[in-house]
Chain A
Amino acid sequence: DSGVTQTPKHLITATGQRVTLRCSPRSGDLSVYWYQQSLDQGLQFLIQYYNGEERAKGNILERFSAQQFPDLHSELNLSSLELGDSALYFCASSSGQGAFSSQPQHFGDGTRLSIL
């Protein structure tokens, strides 16, 4: 058990819809990272937050947004969903401040998003 909790585990929705994925980091970790894993793109870094502030941005689409709340949980919002957004979305947490860090990331079990 990594200590990182992601909900829901599975999500099925239709094109054009909007969904919110939730992540609770490990106790004591201030950084949260979001990743998208798909068969054709592999594991892609989307965005990182540290203590409520955005710290690093990767290949995140404009239709996607995220935030980290004062209690350190984070949400990833995906809107105007397309078939190609079907993927596993992982959240990870770390005690490091930035993406450039010696501190490892601890991953949740992911949310599997299926767009019909």
Chain B
Amino acid sequence: AQSVTQLGSHVSVSEGALVLLRCNYSSSVPPYLFWYVQYPNQGLQLLLKYTSAATLVKGINGFEAEFKKSETSFHLTKPSAHMSDAAEYFCAVSVPGNQFYFGTGTSLTVIP
């Protein structure tokens, strides 16, 4: 069973517009959740993580994500997109049973 689902494999926004990348997870117990970003020809970099301390998590580069248990979601947002935000974004979940799953990724395009 898929533990993490990213809705929308491609998202385009205008520079300065709101960025919203969606992630839903499935887990019978509260998981640990992560967002990573991958720039071309590079490895993944951690943007932010949720570890049950606070439901609204702030990350690097102005990104934040909110954990909503009732919706089993962990959507990534940024108020104003910058050209440098164009990249592939991955949601990831760490669940009991010693497994770590990545979503299929969302490619973000920023239109000038």
Contacts and interface: CB of A to CB of B under 8 A. Distances in A.
Tell me the dominant secondary structure on chain B's binding face: strand
Interface string B37-52: 0000111111001010
Contact of A100 (B32, B41, B46): B32
B96 interface: yes
Contacts of B90: 43
A2, A58, A100, A107: residue with the most chain B Cβ atoms closer than 10 Å? A100
Interface in A84-107: 90, 92, 98-102, 104-107
B100 A107 contact: no
B5 to A, nearest CB: 12
Interface residues of B, number: 23
Contacts of B32: 100-102
Given A100-B96, A101-B94, A109 B43 contact: yes
Contacts of B105: 42-43
Nearest to A101: B94
A105 B32 CA distance: 12
A73 to B, nearest CB: 17
Interface of B: 32, 34, 36, 41-46, 49, 51, 90, 94-102, 104-105
